Structure 1
Amino acid sequence: MRSKLFTLTLLIGTAAAGLGSAFAGQVPGPASAPDIPVSHRDRVYAAEQFSNTVSVTDPADNKLLGVIRLGDPQPGNLAPLYRGQVLVHGMGFSPDHKTLAVVSIGTNSVTFIDTATNAIKHVTYLGRAPHEAFFTLDGKEVWVTVRGEDYIAVLDGHTFAEKTRIKVPGGPGMQIFSPDNKYGYVCSSFNPETVVISVADHKIVGHVKQESPFCPDLAATPDGKQVWFTLKDVGRTQVFDAKPPFKLIKTLDTGPITNHVNIVRNANGMFAYVTVGGLNQIKVFRTDTFEQVATIPVGKLPHGLWPAGDGTRVYVGLENADALAAIDTLTNTVIATIPIGQAPQALTYVPNAVPEGDGMQNLQPLGVAGQAAQLTLASVSAAASAEAKPTSVTLFDQGLTQVLQAAVTGLEPKQPYVLALASQPDGGGALQPLAAFMTNPAGSAIVNAVGPIRQLAESGQDVPSRYLVVASGTAAKIGKLVQVQTK
Structure 2
Amino acid sequence: MKIRLLSTLAMIAGSMLAGHLPAYAGQAPYAGTAPDFPISHRDRVYAAEQFSNTVSVIDPVDNKLLGVIRLGDPQPANFSPLYKGQVLVHGMGFSPDRKTIAVVSIGSNSVSFIDTATNTVKHTTYVGRSPHEAFFTPDGSEVWVTVRGENYVAVLDAKTFEEKTRIKTPNGPGMQIFSPDGKYGYICSSFNPETDVVSVADHRIVARIQQASPFCPNIAATPDGRQVWLTLKDIGKTQVFNAQPPFDPIKTLDTGPITNHVNFAHNANGTFAYVTIGGLNEVKVFRTDSFEHVATIPVGNLPHGIWPSGDGSRIYVGLENADAMAAIDTMTNTVIATVPVGQAPQAIVYVPEAVPEGAGTDNLTPLGGAGQATHLDLAVSANGKPGKAVTTVTLFDQGLIQVLQAAVTNLEPRKPYVLALAETETGKGTLQPLAAFMTNPAGSAIVNTAGPIRQIVQSTAKAEKRYLVITEGTAAQPGAVVQIQAR
The question of whether the paired residues in 2 share the 8 Å contact of 1:47 and 1:91 is answered with yes
1:415 alignment partner AA: K
1:98 alignment partner AA: K
1:392 alignment partner AA: T
Residue number in structure 2 paired with 1:467: 467
Q: CA deviation at 1:441?
A: 0.1
Residue number in structure 1 paired with 2:65: 64
Residue number in structure 2 paired with 1:177: 178
Residue number in structure 1 paired with 2:477: 477
Please show how residues 10-409 of structure 1 align to structure 2 within 5 Å: 23-381=24-382, 390-409=390-409
The question of whether the paired residues in 2 share the 8 Å contact of 1:25 and 1:31 is answered with yes
The question of whether the paired residues in 2 share the 8 Å contact of 1:23 and 1:267 is answered with no
The question of whether the paired residues in 2 share the 8 Å contact of 1:271 and 1:286 is answered with yes
Q: CA deviation at 1:21?
A: 6.8
Q: CA deviation at 1:463?
A: 5.2
1:228-279: CA deviation from partner (whole Å, max 9, x where unpaired): 0000000000000000010000000000000000011111100000000000
Residue number in structure 2 paired with 1:417: 417
Q: Distance in 1 between matches of 2:450 and 2:288?
A: 41
Quick one: structure 1 residues 323 and 354, their matched pair in 2 at CA, closer, same or farther if it must change by over 3 Å?
same
The question of whether the paired residues in 2 share the 8 Å contact of 1:400 and 1:452 is answered with yes
1:20-75: CA deviation from partner (whole Å, max 9, x where unpaired): 97851001110110100000000000000000000000000000000000000000
| Ranges in structure 2 where 5+ consecutive residues have no aligned partner | 13-20
Secondary structure in 2 matching 1:120 = strand
The question of whether the paired residues in 1 share the 8 Å contact of 2:389 and 2:486 is answered with no
Q: CA deviation at 1:425?
A: 1.2
The question of whether the paired residues in 1 share the 8 Å contact of 2:284 and 2:295 is answered with yes
The question of whether the paired residues in 1 share the 8 Å contact of 2:23 and 2:36 is answered with no
Q: CA deviation at 1:464?
A: 1.5
Q: CA deviation at 1:459?
A: 2.5
Q: Distance in 2 between matches of 1:329 and 1:389?
A: 29
Quick one: structure 1 residues 23 and 418, their matched pair in 2 at CA, closer, same or farther if it must change by over 3 Å?
farther
Q: Distance in 1 between matches of 2:433 and 2:255?
A: 32
Q: Distance in 1 between matches of 2:402 and 2:235?
A: 29
Q: Distance in 2 between matches of 1:454 and 1:89?
A: 25
Residue number in structure 2 paired with 1:437: 437
Quick one: structure 1 residues 340 and 391, their matched pair in 2 at CA, closer, same or farther if it must change by over 3 Å?
same
1:481 alignment partner AA: V
Q: Which piece of structure 1 moves more, 264-273 or 377-386?
A: 377-386
Q: Distance in 1 between matches of 2:431 and 2:385?
A: 23
Q: Distance in 2 between matches of 1:280 and 1:22?
A: 34
Q: Distance in 1 between matches of 2:348 and 2:202?
A: 29
Secondary structure in 2 matching 1:390 = strand
Secondary structure in 2 matching 1:278 = coil
RMSD: 2.0
Q: Which piece of structure 1 moves more, 423-432 or 177-186?
A: 423-432
Q: Distance in 2 between matches of 1:22 and 1:290?
A: 25
Q: Distance in 2 between matches of 1:64 and 1:385?
A: 36
Q: Distance in 2 between matches of 1:336 and 1:165?
A: 41
Q: Distance in 1 between matches of 2:118 and 2:475?
A: 49
The question of whether the paired residues in 2 share the 8 Å contact of 1:389 and 1:409 is answered with no
The question of whether the paired residues in 2 share the 8 Å contact of 1:92 and 1:101 is answered with yes
Q: CA deviation at 1:122?
A: 0.2
Q: Distance in 2 between matches of 1:429 and 1:446?
A: 26
The question of whether the paired residues in 1 share the 8 Å contact of 2:24 and 2:35 is answered with no
1:66-87: CA deviation from partner (whole Å, max 9, x where unpaired): 0000000000000110000000
2:396 alignment partner AA: F
1:212-241: CA deviation from partner (whole Å, max 9, x where unpaired): 000000110010100000000000000000
1:441 alignment partner AA: P
Q: CA deviation at 1:381?
A: 3.8
1:349 alignment partner AA: Y
Q: Distance in 2 between matches of 1:189 and 1:23?
A: 36
1:36 alignment partner AA: F
2:402 alignment partner AA: Q
The question of whether the paired residues in 1 share the 8 Å contact of 2:23 and 2:35 is answered with no
Secondary structure in 2 matching 1:77 = helix
Q: Distance in 2 between matches of 1:99 and 1:385?
A: 48
Quick one: structure 1 residues 385 and 449, their matched pair in 2 at CA, closer, same or farther if it must change by over 3 Å?
closer
Q: CA deviation at 1:453?
A: 0.2
| Ranges in structure 1 where 5+ consecutive residues have no aligned partner | none
> TM-score, length-normalised on structure 1?
0.95
Q: CA deviation at 1:346?
A: 0.4
The question of whether the paired residues in 2 share the 8 Å contact of 1:194 and 1:209 is answered with yes
Q: Distance in 2 between matches of 1:382 and 1:353?
A: 55
- Alignment length, in residue pairs? 474
Secondary structure in 1 matching 2:449 = strand
The question of whether the paired residues in 2 share the 8 Å contact of 1:23 and 1:265 is answered with no
The question of whether the paired residues in 2 share the 8 Å contact of 1:187 and 1:218 is answered with yes
